[in-house]
Amino acid sequence: MRVRHAIAVVPLLLFAARESRAEYIVMRSGQRLAVSAYQVLGDKYKVQIAGGWAEIPTEEVVSIEPEEVFTPLPKSQQPEVKPPYRELVEAAAARFQVDADLIWSVIAVESNFDPKAVSRKNARGLMQLLPETAAHLGVQNIFDPKENIEAGTRYLHDLLLKYNGDLALALAAYNAGPDKVQQYGRVPPIAETVSYVRQVKQKYEKSKTSPAAQMMAMPGGATAATQSAPGPPVTPAPLQRTTQAQ
- Choosing from 110, 132, 150, 205, the catalytic residue is 110
Q: What percent of the chain has pLDDT over 70?
A: 68
Query: 180 and 62 in one domain?
Result: no
Q: Which domain holds residue 190?
A: 86-227
Per-residue pLDDT at 116 exceeds 90: yes
Q: Measuring CA to CA, which residue among 199, 192, 179, 185 is closest to residue 242?
A: 199
Same domain? For 97 and 196 the reply is: yes
Residue 27 has pLDDT above 50, yes or no: yes
Question: Which H/E stretch holds residue 61?
Answer: strand 61-66
> Residue 212: inside a domain, yes or no?
yes
Count of C-beta atoms within a 10 Å radius of residue 71: 5
DSSP state of 231: S
Asked whether the bond before 79 is cis by omega within 30 degrees of 0, the reply is no
User: Which range among 66-70, 83-87, 198-202 shows the weakest confidence by mean pLDDT?
Assistant: 66-70
* pLDDT value at 36 more than 70: yes
Res 208 pLDDT > 50: yes
Co-location of 203 and 170 in the same domain: yes
Residue 147 falls in the annotated catalytic set: no
100 plus 176 within the same structural domain: yes
Q: How many domains does the chain have?
A: 2
- Strand ranges (E), 88-239: none
Calculate the alpha carbon distances from 66 to 15, 32, 71, 146, 222 in Å: 12, 12, 11, 34, 39
